[in-house]
Amino acid sequence: MNQNSTTAERPVLIVPFVWIGDFVRCHSVVRLLKAQNPARPVDIVASSLCAPLADYMPGVRRAIVADLPRRRLGLKLQLDLARRLRQGGYGQALVMSRKWKAALAPFLAGVARRTGFWGEVRIGLLNDLRQGEKKLPRMIDQMGALALPKGAALPPDWPLPELKVPADELQAWLTARGLAGAARPIVTLSPGAVGAGKAWPPEHYAALAKALAEDGGSVWVLGGPGETAIAQAIATAGGPRVRDLTSNDLRNAILALAAADVSVTNDSGLMHVSAAIGTPTVAIFGPTSPWHWKPLNPVSAILEPPGDQLARQRARLEGNDAVSHRRTADVAVDTVLAAVRQTLTQAR
C-alpha cells in the first residue's frame, strides 16, 4: 500500500449490527460508499451466520468473519479481530452499533478514522463522533448518515440493498438438493422471527402450506435449526409437496429464496433477504411498525391485523409502542392465502 495514500483512498470497513435484516440493510451503505468512490474497497465484519450474505452483495470485497460474544467483552476475540483488521490497512471504519465494544477492535487495529454515534460514551474509541442518532427514527437513516460527511442532509431515498445469486450456482444447488424438478409455483414460508409476538402462529403456517400444496405448487419451509421442529410440523400437515429446508447454513435459505416465486415471511431477517433478492414477498406484521422495519426494497404485500387505523398512523411517529399490542395471529390465513395467489397472478 502506498504510504502517501490518503485516508479516503484506503479501504473502508463496515462494522454492522449482528442481525440478518440489519446486515442486509448495510448493503445500502455499501452502495452509497461505492457511488462516492467506485475504486475504494469496502469490507464488512460478519458473524458466521451472516457471512454468506456478503458473497451475494455487489461491491463488497470480502467479509471478515468474527463471532464476537453478545453479552461479554470477549477480549481475546477482540484482539484477534484487531490483528486481522490491522492487516487490512483501513482508512476508515463505520461502526453501526452504538455499543462500546463494537468500536473496540477498530480502535485496537489503529484504523485512522473511526466513525460512529456517541452511543455508550465512546470518546477515544471513536475519533469521528456523530450526534443526533435519536432524531433518526429508521435504522437505515442512522446507518446511512455515518457514510455521509458530518452534518450532511440525508438523501430523500437510499440505494436499495441488492443480493445477486448467480444462475449457475442456483442451478447447482437445486440439482444437489433434488429440487431441480420441483413443481411450480414455489412458495417459501419463513416462520421464524426474533422478538416476542412477531411470529405468525405455526398452525396458521400449516394451514397456509396445506392450501398452497392443494393448489398444485411446491412449498419450502425455511429457517435455522431453531425452526426445524416447526418446519417438520408444517410439512407433516401440508403433505408431500411441502418440504422442510431448514438448515444451519444461511446460504441454503438465500438460494431457496432466489428460486422461489413468492416468499411468505414474518418481520424477520429472511424478509429482508427475500426482498433484496427481488423475490415477490408477502410480509406479515404484528407488534412492530412496518414504516420503521419493512425492507427498503419493494414488497408485494404487507399484511397487518385488521382495524386500529389510529395505531398505524401513530406508529410512524412513535414506533413500535403504538402497535405493540397487536397480535400476528389476528392476520387471517385466508388473507395471506389471497395475497399469495394475487401475487402469483400478477407475476404471471
pLDDT at 113: 97
Tell me the per-residue pLDDT of 77-106, one tens digit each, with 9 for 90 and over.
Answer: 999 999 999 999 999 999 999 999 999 999
* Concatenated DSSP letters of 49-91: TTHHHHTT-TTEEEEEE----SSS--HHHHHHHHHHHHTTT-S
Q: CATH topology of 7-146 equal to that of 168-347?
A: yes
Predicted TM-score (pTM) of the model is 0.94
CATH number of 168-347: 3.90.180.10, 2.40.10.120, 2.60.120.10, 3.40.50.2000? 3.40.50.2000
Helix (H) or strand (E) holding 289: none
Domain borders along the chain are 7-146, 168-347
User: For residues 103 and 86, is the Cβ–Cβ distance under 8 A?
Assistant: no
Q: What is the pLDDT of residues 66-76, one digit of tens each?
A: 999 888 899 99
Classified as helix, coil or strand, 139 is helix
* C-alpha separations of 43 from 6, 33, 323 in Å: 18, 11, 37
Among the listed ranges 84-93, 133-142, 236-245, 255-264, which one has the minimum average pLDDT value? 133-142
pLDDT(308) > 80: no
pLDDT at 38 over 70: yes
- Percent of the chain at pLDDT > 90 equals 84
Judge whether residue 5 has pLDDT over 70. no
pLDDT tens profile 189-225: 999 999 889 999 999 999 999 999 999 999 999 999 9
CATH number of 7-146: 3.40.50.2000
The predicted structure's pLDDT at residue 3: 39
Q: What is the pLDDT of residue 1?
A: 39
Instruction: Identify the residue whose cell numbers are 469490507.
Output: 43
